[in-house]
Chains A and B, each alone.
Chain A
Amino acid sequence: MAEAGVAILEMKNVGKTYAQNGRSIEALRGASLRVEKGEFICLIGASGCGKSTLLRMAAGFEAATQGDTLMWGVPITGPSPSRGMVFQDYGLFPWLDVRDNIGFGPKSRRRAKGEIRDTVDHFIELIGLQSFADVYPHQLSGGMKQRVAIARVLANDAEIVLMDEPFGALDAMTRERLQDELVDIWSRTGLTVLFVTHAIDEAIFLADRVVVMSPGPGRIEREYTIDLPRPRDIAGAEFNAWRRVLAAQLHSHHGRKAG
């Protein structure tokens, strides 16, 4: 059914070349990716593999120099609330408290005051920050900030959530908790998630599909469908098998580059 319909996000043979100091650098070449509604997809690869570039093109922050980037079959021309982005460095507005950060999107889209209040209340409860509603970002921990950043795009009716190494700056314990919470939110809301990471465990734990990318120039190397049942046991034998497969795939780039 999905194959026949229009994908929520589709990238067709997408490339990106930009000029830096008079030299042209090819960040991404011939990348094709089809994302169905409700999928959780992880992009994984070493730095310079173009995974963040791909994500930023999906967000509409950068235009592709080749190929097509489509949402529901319509070309992406710029950022849109339907594609919410969660940054590694949070990107919260420091002058707004938690409540107003989450309400920023709905307010920008001129929702009614009462409606904004209800939406904000709902999402503050979803991320469990009820007692921090009136607190400014600089008073929050990294994990709390990232919860607010996630709530902010959900409160703005994002259909796809684009996440650029969102848990990369957090400590291990907080990271695991947020991974659990994210899977929980995703499975309850039917969101579509495109998640960039360089951590193999994170990708296996989260994704329906893992897209492995490789550098020089950045491209999509291979896709794996992770068919493990959820909730996933990171200590399980199958999980470990996947770990081995992905590690071998990722490290093969180094071998080839060196050789």
Chain B
Amino acid sequence: MTTLASDSGSGTASARATSWASAAWSRLRPLLLAVVFPALMLSIWHFATVGRPGSLVPPPHDVWLELWDLAFGGINDDAYSRTLHIHLLASVARVYGGFALALIVALPLGMLIGRVPLIRQIIDPTIQILRPVPVTAWLPLAMIIFGLGPRSAFFLVFLGAFYPILVNTIFGVRSVEPRLFEAASMLGCNGSAQFFRVVLPAALPSIFTGMRLGLGFAWVVIVVGEMTGVQTGLGAIIMEARQLSRTEIVICGMIVIGTVGFLSDRLVMLIGRRLLAWSPSHG
């Protein structure tokens, strides 16, 4: 009797152990697979550059030392040591500032264009014509109007984030299922209440997609914006380092922009998951 019981006990325990192992493996697998390719690229980069003084691109190890020096100093102790936070902060402030301004303008405008036919007829054609103009093509004009400096960069970020938010907000408020309006009105929800209780929540996934695209675009545009006579910012040090042939700093700047852009996108997605738990495509 007792042997039977202990037998079955150990049986379930080992089953539990294997299921735990397979669960761990199924979690680890995508991570491992995701790491394989970058590791391969890194080693190709390493072996193609290390020990060649004439190489245009510095080896990964030099870039890593430079990154450390940019962040914490103590290696080169030159003009760039321990300046990363200054540039990072400047860029982040411009990205989120421009993004916030785009949000403040594009959200209400998009809702108006989407819901009020008269406003749509007045404004939408103009926007359709202006939208294909690439944000970078606005740069010279921005420099003329706002001068050389951070204000041009800020304007570009605003413009870059503005269109995705606007277009997706219009799409979101226009593509509310007609059935939901019928449901709301037979339940006693009419007029402006319908806007807040039906249109807005129904459009939220779309608006959110627009915000995510807009923020991503803001990170793209900030570099271009900062390449024109701005003293601080990640785009600025990339450009300056190129002129000084400090290629390792150029690459460091790229890495930091990539990382921060990625983290910023993750943050938005995390907020979206909490806000849109009801949506099968977001939750």
A-side residues, CB < 8 A to B, are 59-61, 78-81, 83-85, 87, 89, 91-97, 104-105, 108-109, 136-138, 152-153, 156
Contacts and interface: CB of A to CB of B under 8 A. Distances in A.
Given A105-B188, A109-B188, A156-B188, A94 B183 contact: no
Interface string B163-185: 00000000000000001101111
Interface of B: 179-180, 182-189, 193, 197-198, 201-202, 204, 277-280, 283
Contacts of A97: 278
Contacts of A156: 187-188
Given A91-B179, A91-B180, A95-B201, A138 B280 contact: yes
B188 A93 contact: no
Most buried by B among A79, A80, A87: A79
Contacts of B183: 85, 87, 91-93
Nearest to B183: A91
10 contacts: A81-B188, A92-B183, A95-B278, A104-B197, A108-B193, A108-B197, A137-B278, A138-B279, A153-B186, A153-B187
Contacts of B187: 81, 84, 104-105, 108, 152-153, 156
A222 B283 CA distance: 50
9 tightest CB-CB pairs across the interface, nearest first?
Answer: A105-B187, A108-B189, A91-B183, A79-B185, A79-B186, A81-B188, A136-B278, A95-B201, A108-B188
Given A91-B179, A91-B180, A95-B201, A80 B278 contact: no
Most buried by B among A83, A92, A104, A153: A104
A109 B186 CA distance: 11
Contacts of B186: 59-61, 79-81, 83-85, 153
A79 B182 contact: yes
B9 to A, nearest CB: 33
B182 A61 contact: yes
Contacts, number: 72
Main secondary structure of the interface of B (DSSP, over half): helix
Contacts of A93: 180, 183-184, 198, 201
Contacts of B189: 104-105, 108
Most buried by B among A85, A105, A108, A153: A108
Nearest to B177: A91
A95 B204 contact: yes
Nearest to A109: B188
Given A93-B184, A104-B184, 8 more contacts: A61-B186, A87-B183, A93-B201, A95-B279, A104-B187, A105-B189, A138-B279, A156-B188
Nearest to A157: B188
Most buried by B among A81, A91, A109: A91
Nearest to B280: A138
B279 A94 contact: yes
A138 B189 CA distance: 23
A94 B201 CA distance: 9
Contacts of B179: 87, 89, 91
Contacts of A78: 185
B162 to A, nearest CB: 26
Nearest to A94: B278
Contacts of B202: 94-95
